[in-house]
Amino acid sequence: MKEFDRLVEIIAQLRDPIEGCPWDLKQTPKSLVPNFIEELYEAIEAIEENDPDSLKEELGDLMLHILMQCRIAEENEEFTVRDSLEGISGKLIKRHPHIFSDAVETDANSVRMNWERMKQVEKKEERQSILDGTPLSMPALIVSHRLQEKAASIGFDWGSIEPIYAKIEEETQEIKEACLTGDMEKIEGEVGDLLFSVVNLARKLNVDSETALRVTINKFIRRFKQVEKSYENNGKMMYDATLEELDEVWEQVKRTEA
């Protein structure tokens, strides 16, 4: 708490109208958004790379942005950081009745579904649909996952995984049929349907599709760079290689990782 209070005081000093920092005084909630998002993704990267030192630093940067937003809101007499803390504490207690009251939940999934149902009741007057409240500006894979979770909270979900496999096969076939028409709008729609179904499969397997795709992206980058290095070490140019030759080196790289 001592260090938290110190950071709050430092931010207040930076925002002091007379002795504060010109750059910090110039900031608004909206102007801070790009850097806020950047810091969030840097924290995510540190988590994915299992780098606790970087994560420690990035979480501090995120805390700075959170407290800066709270400071500006306090200056505008909207709310304080204490209000935010009290709000989240109350929400956590209310939405965890199996911890703070006599309710009983059997597993993590039932806890999650109960959380969604309580959230829908609390937000009923603000939202016209169960699906409302999911920021569509988030990465599409995350949005897909959250929308499916919300629909599942009222039972709109397959009871087993087998129908999802069938759905993926169905969507794949529809892409092939759409490609025969040459209609790009239809092709795009069918590819979107396939991606949505794959996210559904990942969700049922308790896999976060955004994280899974990031893992594959990082794997692709790592392997491709190794292919580049192989050609460089042999004094050859990748641009002169055939697809078959590139694929052979790619498979060699894969085998070294196995």
DSSP conformation class of 1: -
Res 102 pLDDT > 80:
no
Res 221 pLDDT > 70:
yes
Per the prediction, the chain carries an average pLDDT of: 91
Give the model's confidence band at 111: pLDDT under 50 very low, under 70 low, under 90 confident, else very high: confident
pTM for this prediction: 0.69
Res 125 pLDDT > 70:
no
Asked if residues 28 and 47 have their Cβ atoms less than 8 Å apart, the reply is no
Query: Residue 209 class from Cβ within 10 Å (0-12 exposed, 13-18 middle, 19+ buried)?
Result: buried
Give the model's confidence band at 106: pLDDT under 50 very low, under 70 low, under 90 confident, else very high: low
Res 236 pLDDT > 80:
yes
Tokens of residue 253, six digits: 């790289």
pLDDT digits (tens, 9 = 90+) for 40-96: 999 998 998 899 999 999 999 999 999 999 999 999 999 999 999 999 999 899 888
Q: What is the pLDDT of residue 48?
A: 86
Angle at 128 between CA 125 and CA 201, to 5 degrees: 120
Distance CA(101)–CA(93), nearest Å, equals 9
Res 249 pLDDT > 70:
yes
DSSP conformation class of 104: -
CB atoms inside a 10 Å sphere around CB 44: 15
- Alpha carbon 129 to its chain centroid, in Å, reads 22
